[in-house]
Amino acid sequence: MSSKVVVLKTTPAAILDDYERLLHLSELEGFISKEKDSLIKLNLSWTKYFPSCSSQPWQLEGVVRTLLRMGYQKECLFPVENKTVVTHPVKGARNNLWTPVLEKYELPFYPLTDVEWITYDFKQKLLKMNQVFPEGFVIPEMFVGKNVIHLPTVKTHGHSVTTGAIKNAFGGLLKEVRHYAHKYIHEILVDLMIMQKELHPGIFCVMDGTVCGDGAGPRTMNPRIGNILLASGDSVAIDSVAAKIMGFDPMSIPYIRMCHERELGTGDPQEIEIIGDDISAVNLHFKTRKSLVIWGDQMLRVGFLKFLERILLRSPLVIWAPFASNVYHDWMWYPTVGRRRIKAFEKTDWGELWLKYKRG
């Protein structure tokens, strides 16, 4: 079962029913027990709404509605998301329209800023986590022993080439200083898979590709209509299939290849069974690009400016970095390029659905 990925083509008119069909075809109940609590790990890449950047409201509704119809109890479902130095979970939940969806189904939202974080003694050896955080690191106590259902989107990422189910744990298991891990991002993503397999009795992934992100992900992207949904109990396999749909060779992406080699999941497309619609001819021809902020970050961590890394990124002077990121993303790019792309998106069928959610 771990090497199966369900892929369905969808439309705005059928989206909620297609999510229900997706979860039934993917045999969700074989991965996520109704007897245990389950985290619903949302994906917030920007406090503001931008198409394909964060979990879509119909993605959240499709999953929650189906879970409740399948007999999962409200009291056992915990929608969560964390902050970064440049995002705010509560404002992000409101701007991305998660809040009205959760209110509709009477589910609370759990910002991970408000929960207890603990030191956890992992039994398996981690590749880089202890090197990145030599003073130690903490995880949310509520993650221990709970299932997790990840809700990523199909998009590129300037640090990791693509981002999806595996990297969605990056925003849950690490605090806001997780940007330290960008230096060894692929090894850290492998570590996250190792950690999750110790922490969670069940792991499941539901990826939205209705609107995909091409280019300088995870924020300053070009939204591309994809009309697809993916689900799997194998985080590595679903990321591999999503990468192939975007036009990449999955095994050339280090974190997918390393996870496959360590048998943390199936990354080789030839070993993954696709269930649902035929996507063999789908190639979106995406290309990962680096935003100005990610380019600067990489120059300081692994490039010609790395001699400045400690003083600029790991000292009290680091406050310049989130300030610069906010200036670029929120004050320069979003009001100009971003708004034009949002306006163009709103004229599509998925944009019309977004506006319906926005109007309530």
Q: Using one digit for the tens of pLDDT, what is the confidence trace for 59-78? A: 999 999 999 999 999 999 99
Burial of residue 342 (CB within 10 Å: 0-12, 13-18, 19+) is middle
Domain count, the chain: 1
CATH number for 167: 3.40.50.11440
Q: Determine contact, residues 236/267, Cβ cutoff 8 Å.
A: yes
- Residue 47: pLDDT band by 50, 70, 90 thresholds? very high
Give ∠ CA 147-23-35 in degrees, rounded to 5: 35
Look up tokens 């680096």; give the residue. Answer: 290
- Closest alpha carbon to 45 in 102, 88, 108, 101: 88
Alpha helices in 26-181 (DSSP H): 57-69, 89-95, 98-104, 129-132, 165-168, 170-173
Residue pLDDT, tens place only, 279-332: 999 999 999 998 877 878 778 777 887 787 777 677 665 676 778 888 899 999
pLDDT at 1 over 60: no
Q: What range does the domain containing 301 cover?
A: 4-359
Q: Determine contact, residues 167/236, Cβ cutoff 8 Å.
A: no
Find the distance separating the first CA and the last CA of the chain, reported in whole Å.
Answer: 38
Q: Could you give the CA distance from residue 285 to residue 215 in angstroms, rounded to a whole number?
A: 10
